[in-house]
Amino acid sequence: MGSLIKVNQLRARLLQTARPAIAMAAHNPLGAKLVAEAGFDAVWVSGFELSASHAVPDASILPMSVNLEATRGMSEVQDLPLIVDLDTGFGNAVNISYAIPRFVAAGATAVVIEDKTFPKDSSLRAGGRHPLVSIEEFGGKIAAAKSSGSVLVIARTEALIAGLGQEEAIRRGCAYVEAGADAILVHSKQRTPDEILGFCRAWPGQVPLVIVPTSYPQLAFREVGELGKVGLIICGNHAIRAAVASMRHTFQRILDEGSISGVEDQIASTSDIFELQGDDFMRTIEKTYLR
């Protein structure tokens, strides 16, 4: 499906705030394929998960090429829209202008950029650094992104993460809409949804909101839909967390039992993996063309 068609379809889907779209995180093409298989609305190409999969902090350490190649790989194996986490955009408005066309070519349907300074620190890290750039500077980055390719630009404000309060978060969100943002992502590290719910109810509603309920998982998707303000809910890091928990359990059991037999009925079969790899298609090529 062409990129512009996907962009328009996702734009329309984000306006259905009574039933927000749900994006699941992935950090490699296999994960993206499983997201599509499960029936989610979109894939979140997660910067946190990519960093974790390389065993480095989520702090602008990996080069843009890693994110770009992950995006391209995910685009090649499934058809859901890709919402790509670009953190602070790899620098200033100049960096954004160079990055966006490359991510569009790699298959991005939407990008998320945040108003922190570069290099960023993870929003949920205890004691993290959360200085924000000026509204004017970030508005320029949004405008640069919008002019650089056919992609939805979701502007993420970290005002609540930085402890600046709802009024500043609303002020920044409204300014980012004026700069051209297609949606506003608002993030919170509070352990209850009260802060986010307060922001959503106060939001004047020029564009749909996006939330990432990692810290307040008790908030049901149905409750979010009742707000009539949120177009997208991102499950921001559940693929990598599920993988780590499963691998730890499996590895420890193998060592404890001195055998691999006990885990066989709890892990994917090799035939399942072959199917996810597209083995049947390769066999067809072999039969048709190998001489």
One-letter amino acid identity for 99?
Answer: A
pLDDT of residue 157: 98
Question: Tokens standing for 195?
Answer: 């802060």
- Res 117 pLDDT > 70: yes
Same domain for 218 and 274, yes or no, is no
- Res 128 pLDDT > 90: no
Query: 291 CB contacts (<8 Å, ≥6 apart)?
Result: none
Same domain for 219 and 107, yes or no, is yes
- What 3-state DSSP class applies to 44? strand
Same domain for 167 and 253, yes or no, is no
Burial class (CB in 10 A: 0-12, 13-18, 19+), 280: exposed
pLDDT per position as a tens digit, 56-107? 999 999 999 999 999 999 999 999 999 999 999 999 999 999 999 999 999 9
Q: In this predicted structure, which of 140-144, 165-169, 202-206 has the lowest mean pLDDT?
A: 202-206
Same domain for 254 and 217, yes or no, is no
Same domain for 266 and 168, yes or no, is no
- What phi-psi label fits residue 180: left (phi over 0), alpha (psi between -120 and 50 degrees) or beta? left
Active site includes 58?
yes
- Among candidate residues 41, 58, 85, 87, the one labeled active-site is 58
pLDDT of residue 125: 82
Same domain for 160 and 272, yes or no, is no
Average pLDDT rounded to a whole number, residues 53-57: 97
pLDDT per position as a tens digit, 188-233? 999 999 999 999 999 998 899 999 999 999 999 999 999 999 999 9
* Rounded-to-integer distance, Cα 247 and Cα 249, Å: 5
SS (H, E, C) 47-59: HHHHHHHCCCCCC
Question: Domain boundary residue among 196, 216, 237?
Answer: 237
Average pLDDT rounded to a whole number, residues 21-25: 98
Same domain for 7 and 51, yes or no, is yes
pLDDT of residue 3: 83
Same domain for 229 and 269, yes or no, is no
Same domain for 155 and 20, yes or no, is yes
pLDDT of residue 133: 98
Question: Domain boundary residue among 199, 217, 237?
Answer: 237
pLDDT of residue 1: 58
Q: Is the dihedral of CA 185, 186, 187, 192 positive or negative?
A: negative
Average pLDDT rounded to a whole number, residues 148-174: 97
The whole-model pTM stands at 0.96
- Evaluate whether 21 touches 42 at the Cβ level (below 8 Å): yes
One-letter amino acid identity for 129?
Answer: R
Same domain for 17 and 70, yes or no, is yes
Q: Which domain holds residue 258?
A: 244-289
- Res 2 pLDDT > 70: no
pLDDT of residue 201: 98
Cβ atoms within 10 A of the Cβ of 288, count?
7
pLDDT per position as a tens digit, 238-248? 999 999 999 99
Same domain for 191 and 256, yes or no, is no
Q: Return mean pLDDT, the chain.
A: 96
Domain count, the chain: 2
For residue 199, give the nearest of 189, 188, 213, 215 by alpha carbon.
188
